[in-house]
Structure 1
């Protein structure tokens, strides 16, 4: 019995030991898992801490780099100011020859009209009636080719007339330059003042933020040019010397420039500006017109002597050409040169606007003073080209932009370069100036767009003394282009305190009244209709004042293919178009303010049809060379309707034209539609 009992106890004890070992193993496994989890957590914490340190280090490097960049910008700005005179002296002097235009015009480009109509190949016709089908298609192709040749010849005649007018304009301009040179050699006071004022006004040697305002007079007896010239204010010198990043407060701190250093630099800037302006006058004088220059530099502000707003003279000099020519301006100390050998005057405290007495002023000459923004309004059509571009640049500056005129040679088609400082909507702007009397051709707008793309600019602006046709507005639609007509330009000038008019005593550019679109303007437009579907349509046009047609003769359709003056006419459609209307917008009567285009089902061809199949419709807008400018989308037709207003070209207040989408349908066909426009249909 004892052995049996002991065996049971031993077995039980062994089971207990095994269970204990299992429990211990499980506990050890749990502990191992806990230790591994703790190790993983610590590793993650170390990784996070390392990433945070790296991020903080990267953030600090970024802020340090940004502070360094801003410091370098300040250094570069100061370097430009320090080297203003030397850099300006390396620029070539302005030349009248740079204004000469090449006597060339754009080549004739017939576009799709240059491609002959493809003739049918008899080998492609098979089966019953093949010969009849071939002959029918062959005669149709022959007729289409004849229409193409006729239209192409008309386009060529229009191009030849335009090219001759353009060459005549260029030659007139170049001949005028020869007259300008002769007048300068003779010392004509008006020409001398206008030319050298434009030289200073249009110069690109001045850094951003420098003013470009000039008033001048010419003493013909002494052959001396007397100039009042605007100087930059004290703020042109950066107040900060550099920027430092403070990691403790996570802020940038501007390191102030020592006051004595800033004041000294400002005096050097003023002296350099005066010397450079005098140098530009002498460098541009290749005619012996100017033997001496008296120049006074002004800033706007408060006169400390009176406490009132005033223009304060901070620098003045009067120098003869032989004395000035002996100077090596690239090496001189500007302040010492101005106040020493040239015996000029420079304010001792220009930052406080302490004035000096001008040596000689334009109004002391007695006549021939030209000053922007004063006196009689200048005629924009007769203004000197350089002065006109300068006036446009002044308009942009008056609107809060930075703007300068470009160098006359190799300007890439850009007359004014502007910069809108707005951080969201701003950017670089290229401006072209067209002093035209007739409508600006769409090709000029296309050229501007190419210039914008080539220059990488944000926007392009085309300014003219004339106006634009619908082809120009259609091309500009949806593109970063702005078109400013002559009347809009005059309005903008007056709104911003500048002056200008179009023609002698006229508030706006005159619109010639002529009897045909060919004689009226440099261009016309071809409105080609396209649509899908088999329905036969009549496309018509109504010349209206408001919502009423001018008269029955001004409703252009199949039985009346042209208006009385020929400004609107039905013409053969270009390849790819299903109908076409030719329009000379400049030739439309002055009281006509809209041209309405409509389409109606041809009841003789499709008596039971409606406009349900009239889809994918559009107007292909072409210029006078046949080049497609844009496609104007119009509304699709609807079932049950047999006539539709496609849209209308409407005259703007300035004489330009915009397209307005139509869409109104009629169930009563063309008769009901034209009745709405005042035409009585029996």
Structure 2
């Protein structure tokens, strides 16, 4: 029979067993915690791995889609070139009748003046002095009705005078159109050349970027038009066949178009262009002015033998109307048609500028050769000042306005007086012209505004051969002023059948921006600042390159009328998905004297004239690398009621050369003009 232990020894043993059980329970709990932590860690790692795979897959899909988009754009350009002739033949032919204007003028619309003043109803008056109040209101209504009828009659007289003048102008124009038809039928050489040159310029069959220059003469005896017509260069055919994304190197690779394919397509484009030009001429001849067309196609470029610019004839054909009418141009093979059916000449290697001999040139006709188009237009910069003012007045007349040049003295700062006869939106316009080579200073814009106010005019227009700085645009914002730069002037002249160029006809561009931009592109050494915000207000996002608190110069203010700095280190960029605006910055390419890039936003007064920044919320800047990957997201201040412009923040260069971001927040009630004025931009 065993003996049960007792006393102190038994109590101690029981305590030891209890302690052991507690230790085992603690160790088991710790083990469970470790296993749970390991399970959570493994689950976290699986989630991270899955997210990374999904991000990589999404990134690859984005890059693949971008490569596919670029390939499609190239394919679309090639499709346009391949179908050039067929598409042009489907377009309606030009007719001189299309120049006629309808004699219908805008109907008389008096608006509120047409509504009689309501007369008071005596039945609605009650009380002690009801009759007196009714009589007072009745006499007031009668007086108001009399004033309405007087104003209506005056407005009608103004409208009738305007409508009569407008109708007379339209009829005079239409008589001129009828005279053009008669001159064409009679074989007037000058009219024939002008008309058929306009036909080629007006054609919608030419893709953007195709040259439009013609030298022509008319053989009245043989009713033949002889012309030299500019053709596109070899670069019109894309050198690239497509774009592929290579995930192994995270780069896009351009797939070169086979040289033989590119050369064949270029010859086809030249042949199509010649045939289409001949088709446009014959199709537009409703007067029997053309029995034949001799067309020589030229390309511009650099002669590799001399290194000098030269023109080479790469195609030539003489076509009679009878032979041309037998063709179905929509189905022909252009090269075979030109060189076979029409016995024309086409360079075998136009990409190498191998020339062909023209059959007949305009100077062999014997009459005057008329040159029209891009290359032989008058140089606006070298034009006589009086002739330049006359050209501007002619442009306004071509737009349907009445315009005359002023006398050279006592003109009150007005070079051209113009009048828009529209009774609703028209009025008097004062025009100043500045034949400058350098940027027009803001003081000239301020002076024009003073002239407009002093003359009581409805609007002022400043036309220049150069350009305007941001201070000028900012001062003109919201005022009845229009600024027309040199490039805009040339475009307006061409759109209205007038001629003019700036210097050699090419825009003057400093090589530095292109070089800096190309270097940044090649090295990938730039960042994109994508702007995001919530709210429906339309905003202009701008950037200023500064030293301290002052902009380096007006040209270092990047905004809608100045999309890049002179060196290209800061420029607007296409916004990535989710961004509402974007600015590209090459921080290492900025001038050494620049120590900050300031980003600002302002309400667009044209889209939201009465808005402020109270709806500008949850704003931020997505800092992206050259490949578009997001590096960081920077939070900026929200807008406040009453403010229309806001400093978002600035990137500042530190002593070691690094850049960091400092949040802004200062708001302005006076809009972008007041804001940039604080940074030294002259706004008047």
**Scaled by the length of structure 1, what TM-score is found?**
0.57
| 2:77 matches 1:77 | yes
| Aligned residue number for residue 426 of structure 1 | none
> Does residue 247 in structure 1 map to residue 247 in structure 2?
yes
Residue deviations 1:313-348, cap 9 Å, x none? 111111111122222222222222222232222222
1:434 has 2:407 as partner: no
Partner of 2:320: 320
Cα contact 2:378–2:501 (8 A) shared by 1 = no
Uncovered stretches (5+) of structure 1, i.e. residues with no partner: 380-387, 393-431, 447-466, 500-629, 632-682
Report how far residue 482 of structure 1 moved.
Answer: 5.9
What's the offset of the Cα at 1:282? 0.8
Q: What is the distance in 2 between the residues matched to 1:143 and 1:483?
A: 45
**Alpha-carbon spacing, 1:232–1:161, altered in 2? closer, same or farther (3 Å):** same
Q: Structure 1 residues 109 and 317, CA, compared in 2 at 3 Å: closer, same or farther?
A: same
Go from structure 1 to structure 2 and tell me whether the alpha carbon gap of 1:160 and 1:326 turns closer, same or farther (over 3 Å shift): same
Distance in 2 (CA, whole Å) between partners of 1:7 and 1:444 is 118
- Pair 323,482 (structure 1): closer, same or farther in 2 beyond 3 Å: farther
The CA deviation string for residues 291-334 of structure 1, in whole angstroms up to 9 with x for no partner, is 00011111222234654322221111111111222222222222
After superposing the two structures, state which structure 1 stretch, 223-232 or 128-137, moved more: 128-137
CA distance in structure 2 between the aligned counterparts of 1:117 and 1:485, rounded to whole angstroms: 49
Secondary structure at 2:91's aligned position in 1? coil
2:207 maps to 1:207 = yes
1:13 alignment counterpart? 13
Contact 2:197–2:372 at 8 Å: present in 1 too?
Answer: no
1:111 aligns with 2:111: yes
1:101-500 correspondence runs (5 A): 101-127=101-127, 129-304=129-304, 306-372=306-372, 374=376, 433-434=399-400, 436-437=402-403, 439-441=419-421, 471=458, 489=489, 496-497=502-503
Higher CA-based Rg: 1
CA distance in 1, matches of 2:310, 2:137: 83
Change in Cα spacing, 1:497 to 1:145, as seen in structure 2 (3 Å) is: farther
**CA deviation after TM superposition for structure 1 residue 255, in Å:** 0.6
1:340-379 Cα deviation digits (max 9, x unpaired):
2322222222112222222211122222432226588999
Q: Secondary structure at the match of 2:253?
A: strand
Worse-matched range after superposition: 281-290 or 303-312: 303-312
* Map of 1:566 onto structure 2: none
The answer as to whether partners of 1:314 and 1:346 remain within 8 angstroms in 2 is yes
Kept in 1, the 8 Å contact 2:215–2:362? The answer is yes
1:578-628 Cα shifts (integer Å, max 9, x gaps): xxxxxxxxxxxxxxxxxxxxxxxxxxxxxxxxxxxxxxxxxxxxxxxxxxx
CA contact (8 A) 2:67 2:245 kept: yes
Question: 2:318 is paired with a residue of what secondary structure?
Answer: strand
CA deviation vs aligned residue, 1:175-194 (integer Å, no higher than 9, x gap): 22222222211111111111
Number of corresponding residues: 430
For 2:311 and 2:322, how far apart are their aligned partners in 1?
31
CA distance in 1 between partners of 2:480 and 2:18 (Å):
87
| CA shift in 2, pair 1:302/1:9, >3 Å | same
Structure 2: state its 5+ residue gaps.
Answer: 384-390, 404-417, 427-451, 462-475, 494-498, 506-608, 611-684
- RMSD over aligned Cα atoms: 3.7
How far apart are the structure 1 equivalents of 2:97 and 2:480? Answer: 33
Q: CA deviation at 1:172?
A: 2.2
**What's the counterpart of residue 45 of structure 1?**
45
| Counterpart-to-counterpart distance in 1, 2:150 and 2:255 | 76
> CA 1:498–1:165 in 2, change beyond 3 Å: closer, same or farther?
farther
Residue of structure 1 in register with 2:92 after alignment: 92
- Change over 3 Å in CA distance of 1:101–1:497 after alignment to 2: farther
Q: 1:5 to 1:323 in 2, by over 3 A?
A: closer
Task: Provide closer, same or farther for how the CA distance between residues 135 and 322 of structure 1 changes in structure 2, counting only shifts above 3 A.
Answer: same
Instruction: Give deviations 1:76-115, integer Å, cap 9, x for gaps.
Output: 2112111211221222221122222222111111122222
Measure the CA separation in 2 of the matches of 1:150 and 1:118: 16
C-alpha spacing 1:481/1:471, structure 2 compared with 1 (3 Å): closer
- Return the structure number with greater relative CO, CA threshold 8 A, min gap 6: 1
- 1:346–1:356 CA contact under 8 A, matched in 2: yes
Q: How far apart, in 2, do the equivalents of 1:224 and 1:123 lie?
A: 85
Specify the SS of the correspondent of 1:372. Answer: strand
Shift of residue 435, structure 1, vs aligned partner: 5.8
CA contact (8 A) 1:439 1:469 kept: no
Instruction: Return closer, same or farther for 1:82/1:224 CA change in 2, 3 Å cut-off.
Output: same
Question: What SS does structure 2 have at the residue aligned with 1:367?
Answer: coil
Structure 1 residues 605-644: aligned runs within 5 Å: none
Aligned to 2:29: 29
